[in-house]
Amino acid sequence: MTSIDVTELTKEYGGRRAVDGLTFTVRPGKVTGFLGPNGAGKSTTMRLVLGLDRPTSGTATIGGRPYAEIDEPLRHVGALLDAQAAVGSRTGRDHLRVLAAAARIPARRVDDVLEQAGIVSAADRRIKTYSLGMRQRLGIAAALLGDPEVVLLDEPSNGLDPEGIIWIRGLVRQLAAEGRAVLVSSHLMSETASFADHLVVLGKGRLLADTGMREFIEEWTTPRVRLRTTDDVRLSAVLAEKGFHPVADDDGRWTVEGARVEDIGPLTAEAGIPILELAGEEPSLEHAYLALTAGEAEYTTPRPTAAVQEA
Ligand X SMILES: Nc1ncnc2c1ncn2[C@@H]1O[C@H](COP(=O)(O)OP(=O)(O)OP(=O)(O)O)[C@@H](O)[C@H]1O
Where do contacts with ligand X occur on this chain (CB under 6 A)?
A: 13, 18, 36, 38-44, 298
Whole-angstrom Cα distance, residue 34 to residue 50?
A: 15
| Closest distance of CB 300 from ligand X, Å | 12
- Give the β-pairing of 150-154 and 224-229: unpaired
43 or 229: whose CB is closer to ligand X? 43
| Closest distance of CB 23 from ligand X, Å | 17
21 or 265: whose CB is closer to ligand X? 21
Burial of 168 (0-12, 13-18, 19+ CB in 10 A): buried
229 or 293: whose CB is closer to ligand X? 293
Give the chain's radius of gyration (CA, Å).
24
Residue 166 CB neighbours (<10 A): 14
| Closest distance of CB 15 from ligand X, Å | 11
Question: Residues 6 or more apart from 212 whose CB is under 8 A from it?
Answer: 197, 198, 199
41 or 139: whose CB is closer to ligand X? 41
36 or 146: whose CB is closer to ligand X? 36
| Closest distance of CB 220 from ligand X, Å | 19
Classify 41 in phi/psi space as left (phi over 0), alpha (psi -120 to 50) or beta: left
18 or 60: whose CB is closer to ligand X? 18
| Closest distance of CB 169 from ligand X, Å | 20
Comparing every residue's Cβ against ligand X, the nearest one is 18
Q: Which is nearest to 24 in space by CA: 203, 199, 172? A: 199
- Contact 287/223 with Cβ under 8 angstroms? no
Residue 90, SS3 per DSSP: coil
| Closest distance of CB 256 from ligand X, Å | 36
Q: Which is nearest to 5 in space by CA: 183, 166, 127, 141? A: 183
